[in-house]
Amino acid sequence: MSKISLLSFIIASVLCQSCSAETQNAISQQLSTLGDTASTYKNNAVSYFANKFNDDFEYNPTHDNNTIVSDEVVISDDDLWVSYGENDEINTHDEFVNIVAVGDIMIGSSFPNVGFLPPNDGRDSFKYVKPYLKGDVVFGNLEGVLLDEGNSTKCPNAPTIDPETGQSKPMTCYAFRMPTRYAKIIKDAGFNVLSLANNHTGDFGDIGRNSTKATLADVGIYYAGLLSKPATTFTKNGVKYGMVAFAPNIGTLSINDLETAKKYVKELDKKVDIVIVSFHGGAEGAEHTRVPKTTEMYLNENRGDVYKFSHSLIDMGADIVIGHGPNITRAVEVYQDRFIAYSLGNFNTYGAFNVRGLNGIAPIINVTMQKDGKFVSADVVSIYQTKEHGLRIDKQNRAFGELKRLTELDFPNSGLKFSNNKITR
């Protein structure tokens, strides 16, 4: 086939996303006979048109029926939501990439009643921290679902109003249902990637999970960590990222199935430049600030060995590991030139969360990496929360102090240096 004919078929395949299935199949069959050359030209054409038109153009590789198989692990392109859109500028001149990571996000729940929603309907939730939520990747852990109505499958006997006092009865079970309109608030704050792997993603069953996925897709936030959506990939500034997330909870990829986790990371590493791993693991609370380097149990639940888990996945190709779960800040480490944050604590958790003491301080970590994933440095902005005032910048830099203190205790030979709210080697 001539180069002109080849180019014609490639352009047709890229632009024919809304054509009939019969037409798309005919084009795909023709391209499949042309081998790797056609595939390479097609991928280049996708990037060209996405940036040329600078709109919501999307290429969904599921049209090619691509699937990666490794033993029992199957990562299909249905799992890896790959889109090329308005934020995917091509910039090959920058030597480094920046990943901004924070802890748990739950900015208000309409369950059990609207009394747990924040002032001004959440519009001020990120008011004081938004300037620091800027990077190639801005990542957090969404600790709840995005759903407008429905009862919790986890807490069927939700607190009710005491008829004598008019006040809510004490809560003994916690389920978080953020209104779907709050997704835009999170997006506008700067977040473009969220983990859904945690103990609250199943608070409202499959209805909650499905609503959350659809809502995040609508506002353009990538997500991963559910069995129905284990991983995601995306391109930003010419660098392709992949994120996969794990937790010890039903409906998520298990942090305790290390062999399967390794296979996911290994296969994802073949598809992207930077592999991001998130986990929800470790015991909770201010008495569990240390990384014990063994399996942690909490409320009779196996919360994983986060030290072994993190090291093992870096050995398989992960470039950064971001932890959540303990609701407090834990140490950081650099292993094989890759950055690990063992817990980033409660970042923006309104309402029923405990934000007293260590539970109320957390870092915003802006990690600078080489494009091959090697750690360069990390800038830290400390935040604090109170029941009365919500999320604020902490001028006392307490979270940075905790990172320094705990890293020196847990990893005394790490070689990391902490000075002026910056972590270097």
Is 64 a domain residue? no
Q: Residues 221, 295: one domain?
A: yes
For residues 107-130, average pLDDT = 94
Q: Residues 209, 156: one domain?
A: yes
Q: Residues 301, 168: one domain?
A: yes
Q: Is pLDDT at 61 greater than 80 in this prediction?
A: no
The string of pLDDT tens digits covering residues 328-378 is: 999 999 999 999 999 999 999 998 889 999 999 999 999 999 999 999 999
Q: What is the 3-state secondary structure (H, E, C) of the chain?
A: CCHHHHHHHHHHHHHCCCCCHHHHHHHHHHHHCCCHHHHHHHHHHHHHHHHHHCCCCCCCHHHHCCEEEECCEEEECCCCCCCCCCCCCCCCCCCEEEEEEEEEEECCCCCCCHHHCCHHHHCCCCCCCHHHCCCCEEEEEECCEECCCCCCCCCCCCCCECCCCCCECCCCCCCCEECCCHHHHHHHHCCCEEECCCCCCCCCHHHHHHHHHHHHHHHCCEEECECCECEEEEEECCEEEEEEEEECCCCECECCCHHHHHHHHHHHHCCCCEEEEEEECCCCCHHHCCCCCCCCEECCEECCCHHHHHHHHHHCCCCEEEEECCCCECCEEEECCEEEECCECEEEECCCCCCCHHHHEEEEEEEEEECCCCEEEEEEEEEEEECCCEEEECCCCHHHHHHHHHHHHHCCCCCCEEECCEEEC
Q: Residues 258, 337: one domain?
A: yes
In this prediction, residue 76 has a pLDDT band, given cuts at 50, 70 and 90, of low
Query: 295 or 1, which is more confident?
Result: 295
| Least trusted range by pLDDT, from 19-28, 40-49, 272-281, 385-394 | 40-49
- Tell me what pLDDT residue 194 has: 99
Is 83 a domain residue? no
Q: Is pLDDT at 17 greater than 70 in this prediction?
A: no
In this prediction, residue 307 has a pLDDT band, given cuts at 50, 70 and 90, of very high
Q: Is pLDDT at 57 greater than 50 in this prediction?
A: no
- Tell me what pLDDT residue 115 has: 87
Q: Is pLDDT at 11 greater than 70 in this prediction?
A: no
| Least trusted range by pLDDT, from 160-174, 195-209, 261-275 | 160-174
Q: Is pLDDT at 219 greater than 70 in this prediction?
A: yes
In the chain, how many domains are there? Answer: 2
We report the CATH number of the domain holding residue 103 as: 3.60.21.10
Is 91 a domain residue? no
Q: φ, ψ for residue 68 (rounded to 5)?
A: -100, 130
Q: Is pLDDT at 216 greater than 80 in this prediction?
A: yes
Q: Is pLDDT at 389 greater than 90 in this prediction?
A: no
Is 63 a domain residue? no
Is 71 a domain residue? no
Please, what is the average pLDDT of the chain?
84
Q: Is pLDDT at 167 greater than 80 in this prediction?
A: no
**223 near 216, Cβ under 8 Å?**
yes
Q: Is pLDDT at 63 greater than 60 in this prediction?
A: no
Q: Residues 19, 166: one domain?
A: no
Report the candidate in 150, 252, 251 with the shortest Cα–Cα distance to residue 204: 150
Q: Residues 124, 7: one domain?
A: no
Cα 105–chain centre separation: 11
Question: Which residue range is the domain that position 249 belongs to?
Answer: 96-424
Q: Is pLDDT at 159 greater than 90 in this prediction?
A: no
- Tell me what pLDDT residue 26 has: 52
The string of pLDDT tens digits covering residues 406-416 is: 999 999 999 99
Q: Residues 49, 192: one domain?
A: no
The string of pLDDT tens digits covering residues 225-267 is: 999 999 999 999 999 999 999 999 999 999 999 999 999 999 9
Q: Residues 286, 228: one domain?
A: yes
Is 391 a domain residue? yes
Q: Residues 159, 36: one domain?
A: no
Q: Residues 305, 360: one domain?
A: yes
Q: Residues 54, 100: one domain?
A: no
Report the candidate in 230, 284, 198, 211 with the shortest Cα–Cα distance to residue 81: 230
In this prediction, residue 399 has a pLDDT band, given cuts at 50, 70 and 90, of very high
Amino acid letter at 88? D
What residues does 378 pair with on adjacent strands? 367, 423
- Tell me what pLDDT residue 89 has: 44
Is 82 a domain residue? no
Record the pTM. 0.78
Is 89 a domain residue? no
Q: Residues 43, 126: one domain?
A: no
The string of pLDDT tens digits covering residues 20-44 is: 445 455 555 555 554 544 444 444 4
